[in-house]
Amino acid sequence: MATKFININLKIWRQKNANAKGSLESYKLDKVSTDSSFLEMLDQLNEQLINEQKESIAFDHDCREGICGMCSLYINGRAHGPDTGTTTCQLHMRKFNDGDTIYVEPWRSRAFPIIKDLVVDRSAFDRIQQAGGFVSVNTSGRTMDANAIPIPKADADKAFEAAACIGCGACVATCKNGSALLFVGAKVSQYALLPQGKVEAQERVVNMVRQMDEEGFGNCTNTGACEIECPKGISLENIARMNREFLFAAAKSE
């Protein structure tokens, strides 16, 4: 692991607030360690801006371990940057070369309005979840023993893979239609695959899809871009499973 230092140029989207007009601003940043993460590079730039008594760049982040789903960023035209299977916080500067010009923009999607600079509002995802992304079980301490219902390992594993979605929104940002189907499909699938989720399966899918439409997400035209950019490898299979669930629910209600 040989550490190198590179000098880079950055073109970063700056926008004062939701209503202001934004633009791409240019910055030069020297001596960036190739072991730094992309966000550590932005920290370094912010430090430089503050030393020049300028306003730092706002971007979302928290865990920096690829799990909270808070970080975002369109980097050189790709959601979460050039690496696959990675969030922006887990992208490292060794993926870039000395002298590179790097474009950094926020998620762009009708359902994710910009708040400031690189920060967007993804609360539409929370509202979809509130519409049906749960099993209606109250806290009681009197549910049945956890081992009362054996679940085939294959189903449990698949449910887990779907549940691994971090709610980052890369799938929406990368989709030319701004569809949220991969996100919703993953949640619907997790529950559809488990006996605990089956009871409410029909209402769930109908309610979540209704909320998704209300939030202004686009339609799915099967381009598959979402699966490629999803940092957690959520598979298109989940969209297919959700469509089946939805058709089944629709057929039943007629």
Q: By C-beta, is 32 or 180 nearer to ligand SF4?
A: 180
Residue 168 contacts ligand SF4 per CB under 6 A:
yes
CA distance 141 to 228: 41
Binding of residue 169 to ligand FES (CB under 6 A): no
Among ligand SF4, ligand FES, another protein, none, residue 214 binds (CB under 5-8 Å by kind): none
> Where does this chain touch ligand SF4 (CB under 6 A) — which range of 36-44, 52-60, 92-100, 180-188?
180-188
Work out what residue 170 binds among another protein, ligand FES, ligand SF4, none; the CB cut-off runs from 5 to 8 Å by kind. Answer: ligand SF4
Choose the contact partner of 152 out of another protein, ligand SF4, ligand FES, none; CB within 5 to 8 A by kind.
another protein
Work out whether 224 is an interface residue with another protein (CB under 8 A): no
Residue 106 binds which one of ligand SF4, ligand FES, another protein, none, with CB within 5 to 8 A depending on kind? none
58 forms part of the interface with ligand FES (CB under 6 A): no
Q: Let me know: does 234 contact 87? Beta carbons within 8 Å.
A: no
Query: Residue 189, Cβ neighbours under 10 Å: how many?
Result: 27
Q: What is the DSSP letter of 66?
A: S
Under rule CB under 8 A, residue 243 binds another protein: no
Asked whether position 201 contacts ligand FES by CB under 6 A, the answer is: no
Q: Which stretch binds another protein (CB under 8 A): 65-73, 99-107, 171-179, 241-249?
A: 65-73
84, 136, 99, 144: which is closest to 7 by C-alpha? Answer: 99
CA distance 171 to 253: 30
64 binds ligand FES (CB under 6 A): yes
Q: Is 164 in the site for ligand FES (CB under 6 A)?
A: no
Q: Does 253 bind another protein (CB under 8 A)?
A: no
Nearer to ligand SF4, 183 or 246 (CB): 183
Which 70-129 positions form the footprint of ligand FES (CB under 6 A)?
70-71, 87, 89
The tokens for 195 are: 């006996």
The packing angle between helices 237-253 and 181-192, to 10°, is 70
Could you identify the residue written with the tokens 């979402």? Answer: 226
131 binds ligand SF4 (CB under 6 A): no
Rounded distance between C-alpha atoms, residue 55 and residue 25, angstroms: 13
Q: Is 69 in the site for ligand FES (CB under 6 A)?
A: yes
Contact residue for another protein among 7, 9, 23, 143 (CB under 8 A): 143
Q: Please write down the long-range contacts of 16-23, taking CB distance under 8 Å and 24 or more positions apart.
A: 16/116, 17/115, 17/116, 18/113, 18/114, 18/115, 18/116, 22/114, 22/117
Alpha carbon distance 19, 229 (integer Å): 29
DSSP letter for 199, please: T
In the window 120-139, what residues touch another protein (CB under 8 A)? 121-123, 125-126, 129-139
Asked if 179 and 110 count as a contact pair (C-beta separation under 8 A), the reply is no
Instruction: Determine contact, residues 168/87, Cβ cutoff 8 Å.
Output: yes
